[in-house]
Amino acid sequence: MNDTLRNIFGFDGLRAGQAEVVAALMEGRSALAIFPTGGGKSLCYQLPAVLLEGTALVVSPLLALMKDQVDGLIAKGVAAARLDSTLDVDHYAETVSQLKQGELKLLYVSPEKLANAEFQKSLKGVKISLIAVDEAHCISEWGHNFRPDYLKLTTIFRKLRVNRILALTATATPKVETDIRRQFCIAKKDVVKLSFHRSNLDLRITPCSVVNRKSILLEKIQGSKKPSIVYVTRQETAEEIATFLSRQKLNARAYHAGLRSELRREIQEEFMGGAIDIAVATIAFGMGVDKSDIRAVFHYNLPKSLEGYTQEIGRAGRDGQVAICELLACAEDQTVLENFIYSDIPSERAVRNLLERVLRLGENFDVSIYELATTCDIRQTVIETLFTYLEMDGILEVGGKSFDTYRVKLLRPLKDLLAGRKPKERKQLEQVFSPLDAEWKWLSVKIPDVAPELGISSESLRDLISELEAGGDIALKKSGWRQAYRLKKAEADPKSISAAMAEKLQEREARELGRLDQVLALVQGKRCLTQALLAHFGEKMDEPCGHCDRCRGIAPVKLKRVKPRKISSSEHTQILTLLEEKNAALGTPRQLARYLCGMSSPASMRARLYRNDTYGLLSDLPFTEVEIFAESLF
Write out 368-391 in H/E/C secondary structure: CHHHHHHHHCCCHHHHHHHHHHHH
Residues in CB range of 203: below 8 A, 6 or more apart: 313, 325, 529, 530, 545, 547, 548, 549
**Burial class of 222 by CB neighbour count within 10 A (0 to 12, 13 to 18, 19+):** exposed
Q: Is the pLDDT of residue 286 over 80?
A: no
pLDDT attached to residue 403: 87
Position 604: which residue type? Answer: S
State the fold for domain 201-332+524-536. Answer: Rossmann fold (3.40.50)
Mean pLDDT of 568-591: 94
CA dist 142 → 313, 508, 527 (Å): 22, 9, 25
pTM, full prediction: 0.84
pLDDT attached to residue 624: 93
DSSP three-state, residue 486: strand
Q: What is the CATH number of domain 2-193?
A: 3.40.50.300
Mean pLDDT of 133-154: 81
- 470 vs 500, which has greater pLDDT? 500
C-alpha to C-alpha distance for 634 and 632, rounded to whole angstroms: 6
Residue 580 phi, psi dihedral angles, 5° rounding: -65, -20
Mean pLDDT of 352-361: 90
pLDDT attached to residue 324: 97
Q: Is the pLDDT of residue 534 over 80?
A: yes
Strand-strand pairing, 364-367 and 474-487: antiparallel
Numbers of helices and strands, H then E, in the chain: 27, 17
Query: Alpha-carbon torsion 424, 425, 426, 429, what sign?
Result: positive
Indicate the pLDDT class of residue 400, thresholds 50, 70 and 90: confident
Edge to edge, what strands does the sheet with 474-487 contain? Answer: 364-367, 474-487, 396-410, 442-446
Residues in CB range of 470: below 8 A, 6 or more apart: none
Q: Which residue intervals of 38-131 are DSSP H helices? A: 41-51, 63-75, 89-100, 111-114, 117-122
Q: Is the pLDDT of residue 41 over 80?
A: yes
Whether the Cβ atoms of residue 46 and residue 9 lie closer than 8 Å to each other: yes
pLDDT attached to residue 165: 96
Question: pLDDT averaged over the chain?
Answer: 91
Length of the chain: 634
DSSP three-state, residue 303: coil
Indicate the pLDDT class of residue 84, thresholds 50, 70 and 90: confident
Q: What is the phi-psi region of residue 175: left when phi exceeds 0, alpha when psi lies from -120 to 50, beta otherwise?
A: alpha
Angle CA 310–537–43, to nearest 5: 70
> What percent of the chain has a predicted confidence (pLDDT) above 90?
63
| Other CB atoms within 10 A of residue 269 CB | 11
Q: Is the pLDDT of residue 594 over 60?
A: yes
DSSP three-state, residue 151: helix
Angle CA 140–144–147, to nearest 5: 55
Q: Is the pLDDT of residue 147 over 80?
A: no
pLDDT attached to residue 144: 66
pLDDT attached to residue 287: 53
Of 597, 138, 595, 92, the closest CA to residue 82 belongs to 92
Question: 82-91, 534-543, 566-575 — which is least confidently predicted?
Answer: 82-91
Residues in CB range of 401: below 8 A, 6 or more apart: 116, 117, 118, 481, 482, 483, 484
pLDDT attached to residue 233: 92
CA dihedral 97, 101, 102, 107 (to 10 degrees): 10
Q: What is the DSSP string of 490-550?
A: TT--HHHHHHHHHHHHHHHHHHHHHHHHHHHHHHH--S-HHHHHHHHTT---SS--SSBTT
- 176 vs 145, which has greater pLDDT? 176
Whether the Cβ atoms of residue 25 and residue 187 lie closer than 8 Å to each other: no
Indicate the pLDDT class of residue 393, thresholds 50, 70 and 90: confident
The full set of domain ranges for the chain reads 2-193, 201-332+524-536, 398-487, 569-631
Mean pLDDT of 318-342: 94
Mean pLDDT of 161-166: 92
Of 492, 448, 484, 483, the closest CA to residue 359 belongs to 492
C-alpha to C-alpha distance for 133 and 140, rounded to whole angstroms: 13
Whether the Cβ atoms of residue 214 and residue 244 lie closer than 8 Å to each other: yes
Q: Is the bond preceding 494 in cis, omega lying within 30 degrees of 0?
A: no
Of 38, 42, 36, 5, the closest CA to residue 21 belongs to 42
Q: How far is CA 275 from the centre of its chain?
A: 27
Position 195: which residue type? Answer: S
Q: Is the pLDDT of residue 20 over 90?
A: yes
Whether the Cβ atoms of residue 433 and residue 443 lie closer than 8 Å to each other: yes
Indicate the pLDDT class of residue 529, thresholds 50, 70 and 90: very high
